Amino acid sequence: MRAHNPRTGEADYEFAVNSRAEIASEATRLRDAQPAWEALGPEGRAAVMLKFADAVDAAAGPIAEALAVDTGRHAISWIEVEALSNNIRRWAELGPKLFVGLDRVSKPSATPGFEIRSDYSAYPLFGAIAPWNFPVILSHIDAVPALMAGCAALVKPSEVTPRFAEPLREVLAEVSELPLAYVMGGAEVGQALIEEVDYVCFTGSTATGRKVAEAAARQLIPANLELGGKDPMIVTASADPQWAAGVALRASIVATGQACQSIERIFVAREIAEPFLTALVEAAEQVEITYPDPKQGHIGPFIFPDQAGKVQAQIEEAVSQGARVLTGGKVEQLGGADYLRPTVLADVTPDMAVMRDETFGPVLPVKICDDLEQAIALANDTTYGLSAAVLAGSLEEAVQVGTCLEAGAISLQDGALTTMVNDATNHSRKTSGLGPSRMGDEGLLRFLRHRAMIAQTGQALPIDAYREGQG
């Protein structure tokens, strides 16, 4: 299978796709290693995880360089590798504390004569199917706490951005105690992975997430799904329009808008709409693309080959239905790569695809609202419920608005904070996800199966106690 370079447009990387037999063999190897891994205990596993983090740090250069080629991004690639190391260290520190807090003390049952003791064990084999937009972070965001919980982990990176797996396999060779492996390929490899594991996590589109959920249901295994979003931002009449415009721009276009938590719909109070739009356009026009030097500028190319066409189609459809392009609006092909400068749209309506469907690009459609009630209603008028944001004149007002929004995580006085704050527990709404949060304590505890130890503290009843006819 070949992967393309988003900066050149060339399919310049070839990698082997794992066969069904190879995936089964790797799963068996990991299952065989898992009991010893779990038996190390939280402190023992934490020590190995720290060794893993050190090895990642030592190989940061090759990992980031491979990632930069796959994504066309320079600075963010280094940030991703650092985030992986930090995530490993965070769970290595937090994990043992969580295990100390697990209650294994016997307690009297509500049923007289019995005591109950809770016990826990890890799911033997965890599986992850990762997306292409943040390949390193999202390949490991669930796998790391699963490993800390005592699971073995089998990860399928996206076939769109596979290059980082090669240097990371070299890292794993230095940490042989760690039961973590990668399998490579497309949808068929993901299907095979689901059939081998005991718990699966998927990050990606809602459409593919439904298929993963169906496949997991056939296997009768738990599935955690973090899916698409159409994240709204509400800007109230009391917000400073210049400040709000800067926040909205950053939260919409970082990583070329190719992030699940990117702001994709903006609802601004009519009282400040004019200065807000003026400031937003002025700021957007100062943003630079990273061409020809990937180390200079703000916005990189589209990673996925077909994404630029989908975003351009949304923009053109909106214009045909009455929307106005205030800046940007045209995909540019430079050096074989597809770029889109920040695109601000006005006069949008809720029925337009750019306001309804996930965009995954640096597009900022702005809807002017007559009152706060209308803004909240429009923000909630979506099939998604991943995250949202509120900008207001005070934190207290932002909190009041945020409690009305139907989303799992609400950024207050900022936008897209879910990538910056990794200990905030949240549950996605509607079609944006399924299962416990990957943040907070749940991020690890979801990988533990509970076992009830029920003790008879009196005299066990003889069979005659259940003789028919007694009453």
> Omega into 179 within 30° of 0, i.e. cis?
no
SS3 437: coil
Give me the residue label for tokens 């030097």.
293
* Whole-number Å distance between alpha carbons of 434 and 228: 11
Give me the residue label for tokens 């004149």.
393
Residues in the chain: 471
C-alpha angle with apex 387: 244 to 140, nearest 5 degrees? 115
The helix (H) or strand (E) run that includes residue 450 is strand 448-456
354 close to 365: Cβ distance less than 8 angstroms: yes
SS3 442: helix
Active site residue 404: no
Structure tokens at 309: 């066409």
Phi, psi of 134 (to 5 degrees): -135, 80
Contacts of 66 (CB under 8 A, 6+ apart): 163, 164, 166, 167
* Whole-number Å distance between alpha carbons of 435 and 208: 16
Q: Kindly name the residue from 151, 195, 201, 260 that is annotated as catalytic.
A: 260
Burial class (CB in 10 A: 0-12, 13-18, 19+), 115: middle
* Whole-number Å distance between alpha carbons of 427 and 255: 24
Taking CA atoms, 197 is separated from 21, 155, 204, 222, in Å, by: 14, 10, 19, 10
Q: Pairing between strand 180-182 and 324-327?
A: unpaired
Q: Kindly name the residue from 159, 195, 196, 226 that is annotated as catalytic.
A: 226
* Whole-number Å distance between alpha carbons of 136 and 144: 12
Contacts of 467 (CB under 8 A, 6+ apart): none
Encoded amino acid at 28, one letter = T
* Whole-number Å distance between alpha carbons of 184 and 200: 16
Active site residue 201: no
Encoded amino acid at 204, one letter = G
DSSP 465: G
* Whole-number Å distance between alpha carbons of 156 and 408: 26
* Ordered alpha helix ranges (H), 257-303: 270-284
Encoded amino acid at 87, one letter = N
* Whole-number Å distance between alpha carbons of 437 and 142: 10
Give the active site residues: 226, 260
